[in-house]
Amino acid sequence: MSTLRIGIAGISGRMGRLLVEEVAAAGCQLAGGTARRGAQGVTVFADAAALFAGSDVVIDFTIASTAEAHAALAAEHGTPLVLGTSGLSAAQDAAVAAAARVVPVVASANFAPAATVLFALIEQFAAALPPEQFDAEIVEMHHRQKVDAPSGTAVMMGAAVARGRGKTLAEVGMDSGRDGHTGPRATGPIGFAALRGGQVVGEHTLLFAGASEHISLTHRSFDRRVYATGAVQAARWAAGRPPGLYSMRDVMGVGGTPGA
C-alpha cells in the first residue's frame, strides 16, 4: 500500500506549520501546500488546483473566503477534504455540503479530542436542562490574531445545545455581542461573548444559568498541536471513505450527528 500524500492549504500558517510536523509524525507523505506569501522548506504548489490534483487528501486551515473554491476543487479532483477553517457563512457551508455529495469531507471547527467529546456531552446536558429554566451562554477567548467571532467552536457548542433541545441553532437564535440598552434577556436564544487578547490558544465555557444554580462546562487548549494531530487523524480516516459530510465525532466514533 502506498503512503498517503497529504496536502496542506495554508501551509505557512500557525496551524499549517504544525500540520507539516504531524503529517511526518503519522508516517504520511507531505505532498506540499499553498500559502499566499510562500513558505520555506516545503513544496509550495502554484495554486490550489495543483494542490488538490497532487494530493490524496487535503487539510485546509486557511480563511473562510477560500472555502467555496477549495470545496469545488475537492469535488472536481475527487480529493477528500479535511476542513478546519472557522467562520464560514451559510453560503460557504452550503458549498462544502455540496462537495461532500461527491467526496468525503470531514469538517470541524475543533479537531481536539476532548472538545469533540464535549460536543456530545453538551447535547445531553441541554436535553436535561429546559430553556425556560436554564439560559445558555457561551464565552470564548482567543489570541489577538484571530479574525472571526464568535469562534467556530463556540458556534458548534451552541449548535449542540440547540440539538439537545430538539432544534437547530438558527431556530433557537444567537444573541451575539450585546451592547447598549438591550432590554431583558429573551428565553431561548443562546448568548455569545468573544474575548480577544494575548496568545490564548483557545478557551470556551458554556454556562447553563438557572435561577438558583449554574452549571459551567469549560474546554481549554494549551497547545494548538492538539488540533493538528486530530486533523491528520481525520485525513487518514477520510481516505477511501464514501462521499459524505463527516465530523470529528464520526472519526472518533463519539456518535451523534455532525457538528455545525
Ligand X SMILES: O=C(O)C1=N[C@H](C(=O)O)C[C@H](O)C1
Ligand Y SMILES: NC(=O)C1=CN([C@@H]2O[C@H](COP(=O)(O)OP(=O)(O)OC[C@H]3O[C@@H](n4cnc5c(N)ncnc54)[C@H](OP(=O)(O)O)[C@@H]3O)[C@@H](O)[C@H]2O)C=CC1
Q: Should residue 7 be labelled a site residue for ligand Y when binding is judged by CB under 6 A?
A: no
- Name residue 141's beta-bridge partners: 195, 203
The whole-angstrom separation of Cα 226 and Cα 133 is 35
Q: Is 204 a catalytic residue?
A: no
63 binds, among ligand X, ligand Y, none (CB under 5 to 8 A by kind): ligand Y
The whole-angstrom separation of Cα 252 and Cα 238 is 12
Question: Which residue number, 5 or 204, has a Cβ lying nearer to ligand Y?
Answer: 204
Q: Report strand pairing: 214-221 vs 244-246.
A: unpaired
36 binds, among ligand Y, ligand X, none (CB under 5 to 8 A by kind): ligand Y
3-state secondary structure of 260: coil
Candidate list 4, 7, 12, 219; residue touching ligand Y; CB under 6 A: 12
Q: Is 27 a known ligand-binding residue?
A: no
Question: Which residue number, 164 or 259, has a Cβ lying nearer to ligand X?
Answer: 259
Task: Enumerate residues 6+ apart whose C-beta is below 8 A from 101.
Answer: 75, 243
Which candidate in 70, 142, 204, 219 is catalytic? 142
Question: Which residue number, 4 or 141, has a Cβ lying nearer to ligand X?
Answer: 141
Of residues 109 through 168, those in contact with ligand Y by CB under 6 A are: 109-111, 152
Cell numbers for 204, please give them: 470556551
111 binds, among ligand X, ligand Y, none (CB under 5 to 8 A by kind): ligand Y
Question: Which residue number, 73 or 129, has a Cβ lying nearer to ligand Y?
Answer: 73
The whole-angstrom separation of Cα 224 and Cα 245 is 24
Q: Which residue lies nearest ligand Y, judged by its C-beta? A: 13
Which candidate in 146, 181, 204, 214 is catalytic? 146
Contact 259, 160 (CB under 8 A): yes
142 binds, among ligand Y, ligand X, none (CB under 5 to 8 A by kind): ligand X
Q: Is 10 a known ligand-binding residue?
A: yes
The whole-angstrom separation of Cα 154 and Cα 173 is 14
Contact 5, 52 (CB under 8 A): no
The whole-angstrom separation of Cα 109 and Cα 64 is 11
Q: Should residue 16 be labelled a site residue for ligand Y when binding is judged by CB under 6 A?
A: yes
Contact 110, 154 (CB under 8 A): no
Picking from 56, 14, 49, 18, the residue whose alpha carbon sits closest to that of residue 34 is 49
Of residues 192 through 221, those in contact with ligand Y by CB under 6 A are: none
Task: Please report, as ranges, the residues that interact with ligand Y according to CB under 6 A.
Answer: 10, 12-16, 34-37, 61-63, 65-66, 84-87, 108-111, 152, 224, 227
**Binding-site annotation: residue ranges:** 10-15, 37, 84-86, 108-111, 143, 152-153
Q: Which residues are catalytic?
A: 142, 146
**Binding-site annotation: residue ranges for NAD(+):** 10-15, 84-86, 108-111
